[in-house]
Chains A and B, each alone.
Chain A
């Protein structure tokens, strides 16, 4: 039996980022009914912009800020332009449209930056601590801390803040919220902005923890999607737990030779098992008729 502890540490860090983007996607889905499948592509574009700026000699922290801001801007732009256009449509159609956005961003990234794998060096990775004989770096700690803090913070925000309550009412019924005087478009834009900020942050972390390549990062959205599925696109706490579990399973499989090459299939297997468990009890789920 190999020593699994180091793998668990890296698994928790990776899982933390999966949870982070899972939470961002769940909040957006709850508020606007859009399951943003372009989440990975937006994060990747932000991270690549940051990488380019650092290469051009910009100071690191400013570049990270711009990277996150760029991701948020992309997300908000899409939300403001296509959100109202597709607002009355089925959740499936909304999700498929974001897939188109993902292809556009992916093509643009490949075009401008090629698909060479790069690694974004965050200064926090060099900062290491010794925890009970394990080497843990600051990026890994940050990944977990961000995941936990943002999950709790978002949950609190949705419960207490005025905009948060407005978001929840939008999730319930867009038309009635509008009648009650909630500025639907502004609140939706806020949701796109917040989820874009989270997206930019997780893009930067993934570019460091995995690698900085548009294709890889775009399809890591599937892992976050798996985390959302565990949370049934509703519960933020379960999304956090799901993301962590997926990250740990994936990392712990690394030292075992027979399953190691297949470990990146872990998110799909977890999600499919959860879906099976969820779906088995119901005979049929008729798509929600929201209006």
Chain B
């Protein structure tokens, strides 16, 4: 058998161990998450306007990466339409935000909930099939969403069901929440929302759904014979990831003001999957790293005057490399590195 991790075949060490080790691993994740968030709270005072915008985008991307990572790392499903669902969330937030005066947190929740519903609708045809079929259906769904977004566009302040303006009216942009008008405040707002979504994911992982997902990933047949409702829990995971994507979409339109189909194209969904793999699909730290890769790396290339297409090539290499050699991504390598350091320190202490 190969050394890599297959969805549905092998699990990271911590999850194969006893329940106490499982709780410890989750606690470590929680600490990692809190640490990351603290670091992120320090950023606004030191970053300039360009990097602050990139950091906002990275936090938002981390939310959608968290959903996709949960699907791949915990349940063994590959979804290639996460960015399309971000588009759905953005569409709903734009439509409601420009058409009504609902407070922003309400918009966030509605966007997330409706996107979860759309995700369930997309997922149902594929959930009874094998992993490869699910990936293909979501890829095709991403293609279909792209066609629809490209044709109908996103609401920009007009009347009518699609919320599109006609003629030469000025385009309206999405408002930000009242308490987060400046970029720095919006960054903090996004970090708090991301933390809440991550906590929701952690809560799932620590309770019944998390155990069911682990069982499904280890062996679908075994899970089924233990009485786990495989279809229900896979659908649940996909709905949760879609919920996160919807929230990310709503945050994105609030941060930028509008949405363009190119941002949520099928290609971007594939790039997001690449970033999830490279960051690490088994931990929330991986999701944060994926968000940083997705948004900060292009920004870095931009400031260095390098072609953005190099980023695309790097993501491609990243997918192949992670799948062939480093299944736990950068987060896994960092964890291994930290453990090696600790072992070294312990050995030194014992010798002294």
Contacts and interface: CB of A to CB of B under 8 A. Distances in A.
B135 A215 contact: no
Contacts of A165: none
Interface string A78-111: 0000100110111111011101111111111011
B212 interface: no
A284 B230 contact: yes
Contacts of B319: 96-97, 99-100, 103
Contact of A272 (B140, B221, B271): B140
A103 B312 contact: yes
B132 interface: yes
Nearest to A288: B130
B78 interface: yes
Nearest to A283: B128
A90 B139 contact: no
A282 B128 contact: yes
B324 A86 contact: yes
Given A110-B309, A222-B139, A272 B125 contact: yes
Given A85-B324, A225-B140, A107 B133 contact: no
A96 B130 contact: no
* Chain B: interface size category: 35 or more
Contacts of B6: 89-90, 92-93
A99 B144 contact: no
Contacts of B312: 103-104, 106-107, 110
B132 A92 contact: yes
A264 interface: yes
A91 B320 contact: no
Contacts of B274: 99-100, 103
Given A93-B6, A100-B323, A265 B137 contact: no
B16 to A, nearest CB: 18
B135 A95 contact: yes
A107 B307 CA distance: 10
B8 interface: yes
A103 B313 contact: yes
Contact of B125 (A99, A102, A226, A276): A276
Nearest to A106: B312
Contacts, number: 165
B78 A96 contact: yes
A261 interface: yes
Given A95-B132, A96-B319, A103 B143 contact: no
A30 to B, nearest CB: 14
Contact of B128 (A103, A225, A267, A284): A284
A93 B4 contact: yes
A146 interface: no
A272 B230 CA distance: 21
A219 B137 contact: no
A180 interface: no
A109 to B, nearest CB: 8
A90 B131 contact: yes
Nearest to A37: B139
B266 interface: yes
A264 B266 CA distance: 14
Contact of A262 (B126, B135, B151, B267): B151
A285 B128 contact: yes
Given A93-B323, A96-B323, A261 B129 contact: no
A101 B316 contact: yes
A79 B78 CA distance: 23
Interface in A107-153: 107-108, 110-111
A14 B147 CA distance: 18
Contacts of B130: 91-92, 285-288
Interface in A220-254: 222, 225-226, 229
B316 A104 contact: yes
Interface in A43-89: 82, 85-86, 88-89
Contact of A215 (B129, B143, B230, B267): B267
Closest CB pairs A-B (n = 7):
A100-B319, A103-B316, A107-B312, A104-B316, A107-B313, A100-B320, A268-B144
Interface of A: 35, 37, 82, 85-86, 88-93, 95-97, 99-108, 110-111, 215, 218-219, 222, 225-226, 229, 261-262, 264-265, 267-269, 271-272, 275-276, 279-280, 282-288
12 contacts: A35-B136, A92-B6, A95-B132, A95-B135, A99-B273, A103-B270, A103-B316, A106-B267, A271-B140, A275-B129, A285-B129, A286-B130
Given A100-B317, A103-B315, 6 more contacts: A92-B78, A96-B277, A100-B318, A219-B267, A225-B140, A265-B143
